[in-house]
């Protein structure tokens, strides 16, 4: 599935809506959440929810208890979550991107400056189809901390963040600082390819679709 980067739903870019649903990991979606995520009014978010339900992206959930109505992602909504705004690529190009990504995995895992190793890589989505072109390269991944000692790990994070701040990088929150070592690995893993879409193995969507394993870190 591909999303036209210019397409809108109720005046909001479809790609922004997709990103918010992805960020919610496909669960606990409400009008209130979309209002915060998209920075729109409550009334606009409520209309958007109605549109997404009518389009078959969301359905009413049984979750309740705090006065909000929550929504689940449908099967069609799962395809919407995976949709890309990038131009389709040939299978030969996708094969090359897979090879290059696996080379980057090896380099990351050898580089002790990264605080995480890449523990697992898999591929899913249109790459596993028989199509001559695919919308993007959907990659499942999991990371593993190099340091098992939590205190040492936190010290290494603080040291890395200090260096980044000294180099001019700004962090909007303490959580962003904590997440930076992981984000650093993901940026290196993705490279500069707009065609690669990374998905943590924690994502619920990966339980709904076949995944082909490409790499698993050997146990020592």
What would the pLDDT profile of 129-139 be if each residue is shown by its tens digit? Answer: 888 888 788 89
Q: What pLDDT shows up at residue 29?
A: 87
Domain holding 126, by residue range, is 89-216
Alpha carbons within 13 angstroms on the beta-carbon side of residue 161 total 20
Region 162-180 average pLDDT: 89
Q: Token pair for residue 162?
A: 């200090």
104 lies in the same domain as 199? yes
pLDDT of 172 > 90? The answer is: no
Any long-range contacts for 183-187 (C-beta under 8 Å, 24+ apart)? 184/114, 184/115, 184/160, 185/108, 185/114, 185/115, 185/116, 185/118, 185/143, 186/141
Q: Token pair for residue 213?
A: 């394993």
- Looking up residue 14, the CATH number of its domain turns out to be 1.10.10.10
**Lateral strand order in the sheet of 137-145:** 196-200, 137-145, 116-124, 211-216
Q: What pLDDT shows up at residue 10?
A: 93
Region 98-105 average pLDDT: 97
- For residues 37 and 5, the model is more confident at 37
What would the pLDDT profile of 43-87 be if each residue is shown by its tens digit? Answer: 999 999 999 999 999 998 876 556 678 888 887 887 787 777 777
Q: What pLDDT shows up at residue 202?
A: 84
101 lies in the same domain as 171? yes
Number of domains the chain is built from:
2
Q: What pLDDT shows up at residue 96?
A: 95
pTM (2 d.p.): 0.70
Distance between CA atoms of residues 100 and 46, nearest Å: 43
146 lies in the same domain as 93? yes
Q: Which helix (H) or strand (E) holds 54?
A: helix 42-54
58 lies in the same domain as 113? no
24 lies in the same domain as 131? no
Q: What pLDDT shows up at residue 176?
A: 85
195 lies in the same domain as 131? yes
- Looking up residue 204, the CATH number of its domain turns out to be 3.30.460
- Domain final residue pick, 56, 82, 108: 82
Q: What pLDDT shows up at residue 27?
A: 64
37 lies in the same domain as 97? no
- Domain final residue pick, 61, 82, 103: 82
116 lies in the same domain as 22? no
């Amino acid at each position: 599935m591909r999303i036209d980067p210019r397409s809108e739903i109720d005046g909001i870019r479809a790609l922004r809506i997709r990103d918010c649903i992805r960020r919610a990991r496909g669960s606990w979606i409400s009008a209130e959440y979309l209002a915060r995520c998209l920075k729109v009014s409550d009334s606009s978010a409520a209309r958007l929810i109605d549109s997404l339900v009518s389009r078959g992206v969301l359905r009413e959930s049984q979750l309740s208890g705090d006065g909000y109505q929550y929504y689940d992602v449908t099967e069609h909504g799962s395809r919407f979550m995976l949709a890309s705004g990038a131009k389709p690529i040939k299978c030969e190009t996708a094969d090359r991107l897979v090879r290059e990504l696996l080379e980057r995995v090896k380099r990351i895992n050898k580089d002790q400056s990264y605080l995480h190793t890449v523990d697992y890589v898999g591929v899913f989505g249109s790459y596993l189809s028989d199509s001559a072109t695919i919308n993007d390269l959907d990659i499942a991944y999991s990371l593993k901390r190099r340091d098992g000692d939590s205190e040492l790990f936190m010290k290494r994070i603080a040291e890395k963040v200090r260096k980044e701040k000294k180099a001019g990088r700004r962090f909007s929150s303490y959580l962003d600082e904590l997440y930076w070592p992981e984000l650093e690995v993901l940026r290196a893993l993705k490279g500069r390819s707009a065609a690669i879409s990374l998905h943590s193995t924690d994502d619920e969507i990966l339980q709904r679709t076949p995944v082909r394993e490409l790499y698993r870190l050997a146990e020592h």
